Amino acid sequence: MLQVYLLRHGETFWNADGNRYCGATDVGLTEKGIQQAYQAADLLKNIKFDAVYTSPLQRAHNTATIASGNYAAIQVDKRLTEAAFGDWEGKTRSQFISENPGLWKEWSENPDETRAGNCGETAMEVVSRVDDFFQDMSKKHANETILVVAHNAVNRFYMAYKLGMPLKNYRRLVQENASLTLFELGTEEDFSLLKLNCR
């Protein structure tokens, strides 16, 4: 069994600016986001991690560095990169919906096969790479505990998939900035969600 502490990165400059979609764009943390990472570190200070993994994007990597207490060997894995939102990146939801309401409707009803922002990823492409990562972790870290720092959409798509939810319902799972989720892989149920969106 693998125990996973899954952390979303702290607040970014685009999160703070009307919640503009960051996606695969490499946006940095605000001062509030840095403080949120330190708060996560306080929550995690008594947990011994066998490994720490992060998305390569600076908002996740910086959060991982702080939250893990400067763990000596943080490993970067590109499969944890946030979903690519194509033409929606850098815009608020209201902005890009007004530009192309039909595309948002398609995405909302069938993100599995619809490309986000015209040229981004589909939800199933995201799920495929993130699930591949966690399958590798289950083999590499059996009976261990790891910290994984990633992003809002990738975390929610993966959990929706593992919980058997339609991917169009991914937004029903909340992942606030620097919130902590705990789950186990390799249990009798394969995936057991123990805690969600904790601070």
Let me know: does 131 contact 80? Beta carbons within 8 Å: no
For residue 126, the SS3 value is helix
Give the closest residue to 54 by CA, choosing from 119, 169, 168, 146.
Answer: 146
9 is catalytic: yes
From the candidates 11, 61, 82, 89, give the one annotated as an active-site residue: 82
**Cα radius of gyration (the chain):** 16
Instruction: Report the C-alpha dihedral over residues 60, 65, 67, 71, rounded to 10 degrees.
Output: 140
Give the closest residue to 12 by CA, choosing from 59, 58, 55.
Answer: 59
82 is catalytic: yes
Q: Which two tokens stand for residue 86?
A: 């194509």
From the candidates 9, 61, 141, 151, give the one annotated as an active-site residue: 9
DSSP state of 21: -
In this structure, are strands 180-187 and 190-198 parallel, antiparallel, or unpaired? antiparallel
Q: Which two tokens stand for residue 38?
A: 């330190």
User: Alpha-carbon distance 34 to 76, whole Å?
Assistant: 19
Q: Give catalytic residues, as residue numbers.
A: 9, 82
